[in-house]
Amino acid sequence: MPATRLAIIDSGGANIASLQFAIERLGLPSDLTTDPARLHDASHVILPGVGAAADCMSRLEKADLVDTIRALTQPVLGICVGMQLLFDSSEEGNVPCLGMLPGRVQRFANRADLPVPHMGWNQLEFDASSPLLQDIASGDYVYFVHSYAVPVNDLTIAASQYGHAFSAIVQRGNVYGVQFHPERSARIGAQLLRNFLRL
Amino acid sequence: MVVGDILELAARYREAGADELVFYDITASPDGRSVDRSWVRRVARILDIPFCVAGGIRSVAEAELVLGEGAEKVSINSPALTDPELISRLSARFGAQCVVVGIDSQTAEREYLVYQFTGDPDRTRNTARRTLDWVREVQDRGAGEIVLNCMASDGVRRGYDIAQLAAVRKVCNVPLIASGGAGTMDHFTEVFTAAQVDGALAASVFHSGNIAIPDLKQYLHQQSIAIRV
């Protein structure tokens, strides 16, 4: 993949080092940046996110990146809160998000038998194939850490179950989102990142 | 343990299919010192599973360093008992999912009570806090996960303390990890089914090679326990 020029948006979250290392293990360089020109010129862009949606959005706003991200036409992958930010809004802090995908991020209902955050390994479920899912099977485990999720909708290409089904992977056009952490999902996570970088 | 050994062990457990690793420096708190953290980044480089760093984290700044180097979570135990507000500060800054509270507990005066500084037998003290009250408080303060180490079972390999874990489970709405007592594969089955914990932590049975992780996971899978194999 010599032409791959991956930019990682420096959204200030704590998982950025993990993500950089995961890309490094694939043998690829990455460019951690908030520079609109470098994001624009990248072949692929990843938007990581950890923490509260409102904090992440305000960091993007402060870096004046909202319009830049919305205008990206190359493959864009949101991870965890980064995926949630791609939607219209989040129930977390009732915050408007990037609006690149339609829908609202919702909190998991409090249930005695289901601890929140949903934290740990859980299975992907999907029927239809997708370039992002190449060499990944329905039933494979990936690592989740989140209290909010996107309900299953038309954009869902893989779901997971936690009390009810929620979106584990979404896609519309060039915009992709994964609710789990591929950088911490062992072989399956590495495969997903590899698939994304081949798009 | 020197850094080279840490890296080798981390890689070995990752290859064996461990779902998460916790790195404890149990002597850090009693000594009142911080741990040399240079290894965290090196571990983060090679590990593609989540890992948690425990021991001597007493401030937001210290946690920030560890998380920034690539750890998913920090686990605090003794410092949280000295300064419960630390849990709130960590949770507000990094989110509950990064904040694990470790609790050392055992029966004393016919109640479950919390102990502090258990890394040093000479300084270990009974805090007189009721374990169930502390479990509630740490959740209210924003802990995202609780590791309950049942001291009387720890190192004995006669099974997890099911009664205590089940009692804590009833008041614990965040992920609960059982610690202390694993000796056989059946002990793992028992703790998942009888105490309904979200995870089981073990050290000595894995370090000694008595239980191989791939065998254990296959066994639990056959017992219909949901686990990544």
Q: Considering only alpha carbons, which residue of chain A is nearest residue B51?
A: A184
**Cα–Cα distance, B7 to B47 (Å, whole number):** 9
Give the orientation angle of helix B162-171 with respect to helix B131-140, to 10 degrees.
40
Q: How far apart are CA B44 and CA B69, in angstroms?
A: 7
If DSSP codes are grouped into helix, strand and coil, which group holds residue B96? helix
> Residue B63's closest chain A neighbor by CA?
A14
Give pLDDT, residue B92: 87
Q: Classify the C-alpha dihedral B91-B96-B100-B102 as positive or negative.
A: positive
And the tokens for A159?
């779901």
SS percent in chain B: helix, strand, coil, step 5: 45, 20, 35
Residues B72, A145: C-beta atoms closer than 8 Å: yes
Amino acid identity of residue A181, one-letter, is H
Say what the pTM is.
0.92
Chain A partners of B22 at a C-beta cutoff of 8 Å?
Answer: none
Beta bridge partners of A7: A31, A45
Amino acid present at B93: R
For residue B97, the chain A residues in CB contact (below 8 A) are 50, 117, 119, 145-147
Question: CATH no. for residue A33?
Answer: 3.40.50.880
Residues of chain B contacting A32 with CB distance shorter than 8 Å:
none
- Show the tokens assigned to B58: 């007493």
> In chain B, how many domains are there?
1
What are the pLDDT digits (tens) for B19-65? 999 998 766 656 666 567 888 999 999 999 999 999 889 999 999 98
Assigned domain for A44 exists: yes
Please give the pLDDT value at position B93: 85
**Whole-number Å distance between alpha carbons of A149 and A159:** 11
Question: Is B228 in Cβ contact with A15 (below 8 Å)?
Answer: no
Task: For residue B98, give the DSSP letter.
Answer: G
Closest CB to B68 among A14, A120, A186: A14
Report phi then psi at B150, rounded to 5.
Answer: -85, 105
Closest CA to A189 of A4, A31, A21, A75: A21
A166: containing domain: 6-197
B113-118 LR contacts (CB < 8 Å, sep 24+): B114/B81, B115/B151, B116/B77, B116/B78, B116/B81, B116/B82, B117/B29, B117/B30, B117/B78, B118/B26, B118/B77, B118/B78, B118/B149, B118/B151
- Name the residue range of residue B156's domain: 3-222
B103-124, pLDDT tens digit by residue? 999 998 889 999 999 888 899 9
The three-state secondary structure class of B11 is: helix
In terms of Cα–Cα distance, which of A25, A23, A85 is closest to A55? A85
In a domain, A78, yes or no: yes
Q: Identify whether A193 is part of a domain.
A: yes
Structurally, chain A folds into a number of domains equal to 1
Show which of residues 122-141 on chain A sit within 8 Å of chain B, judged by CB atoms: 141
CA distance B98 to chain A (A): 9
Q: Which of B14, B67, B175 sits opposite A119 (nearest CB)?
A: B175
DSSP run (H or E) holding B38: helix B38-46
Report the CATH number at residue B38.
3.20.20.70
Contact B96 A147 (CB under 8 A): yes
**pLDDT-based confidence at residue B134 (cuts at 50, 70, 90):** very high
> Which ipTM did the prediction report?
0.89
In chain B, which residue's Cα lies nearest the Cα of A185? B49
Is residue B228 included in any domain, yes or no?
Answer: no
Q: How far is Cα B71 from Cα B55, in angstroms, rounded to an integer? A: 13
Task: Name residues whose C-beta falls within 8 Å of residue A98's C-beta, 6 or more positions apart in sequence.
Answer: A57, A60, A66, A69, A70, A85, A86, A87
Which range is least confidently modeled, A157-171, B62-76, B160-174, B206-220?
A: B62-76
The chain A residue lying nearest B226, using CA atoms, is A122
List, in sequence order, every residue forming a beta bridge with B185; answer none if it has no partner.
none
Distance CA B47, CA B20 (A): 10
- Cβ distance of B48 and A187 shorter than 8 Å: yes
- Kindly report the nearest CA distance between residue A144 and chain B, in angstroms: 10
pLDDT (tens digit, 0 to 9) for every residue of chain A, 199 residues total? 457 899 999 987 767 889 999 999 999 999 999 999 999 999 999 999 877 788 889 999 999 999 999 999 999 999 999 999 999 999 988 899 999 999 999 999 878 788 888 999 999 999 998 999 999 999 999 999 999 999 999 999 999 999 999 999 999 999 999 999 999 999 999 999 999 999 9
SS (H, E, C) A99-168: CCEEEEEEECCCECCECCCEEEEEECECCCCCHHHCCCCCCCEEEEEECEECECCCCEEEEEEECEEEEE
- The percent of residues above 90 in pLDDT, for chain B, comes to 76
